[in-house]
Amino acid sequence: MPLILSAFVSGLLFGLGLIVSQMVNPAKVLAFLDVAGNWDPSLALVMGGAVAVSALGYGIARRRGAPALAPRLEIPTRRDLDSRLITGAALFGIGWGLVGLCPGPALVGLTFGPVTIFAFVAAMLAGMALFRVLPAQWPQATFRRAAPDLDG
């Protein structure tokens, strides 16, 4: 039960933070992304604050050896890039730039948002379903960092 309660409280705080910071307002996000026009840098402070809080949490968990409510700290070790990751990141960026929404704010926006948010979430869910049905071994190009040339 404590895990469910902590997940609920964390999600509630996250959603409230998105609302207060106006990350659920596509016009505000698009103004932040419009660096060549009427740029609104205020969301950079929101992102910076989120990175700082996350870094602090990771630092504490690493020192303790585990998070407060989990048996161990799980940090991804995979460092290579493949076409699925690059394609997904590009689609995410294009969608964010065109619509001004990303998954978290879109889900929060379902509680009060216009019909366009419902369309965005439907498209997002369709994309997730498509990813699940594509074969895991879909043609990929893997990019790895070259090993340093130690011979000089």
Quick one: 28 and 71 in the same domain? yes
Residue whose token pair is 């965005």? 120
67-118, pLDDT tens digit by residue? 888 888 888 888 888 887 888 889 888 988 898 998 889 999 898 878 888 9
Among 14, 43, 75, residue at a domain's last position = 75
Quick one: 99 and 53 in the same domain? no
Average pLDDT of the residues of the chain:
84
* CA–CA distance, 111 with 19 (Å, rounded to integer): 11
Domain membership of residue 19 as a residue range: 1-75
CB atoms within 10 A of CB 14: 13
Residue 82: phi and psi, rounded to 5, are -125, 170
Looking at the chain, the whole-number percentage of residues with pLDDT higher than 90 is 26
Quick one: 9 and 65 in the same domain? yes
* CA–CA distance, 49 with 43 (Å, rounded to integer): 10
Quick one: 55 and 95 in the same domain? no
**What does the CA dihedral 95, 96, 99, 104 come to, rounded to 10 degrees?**
110
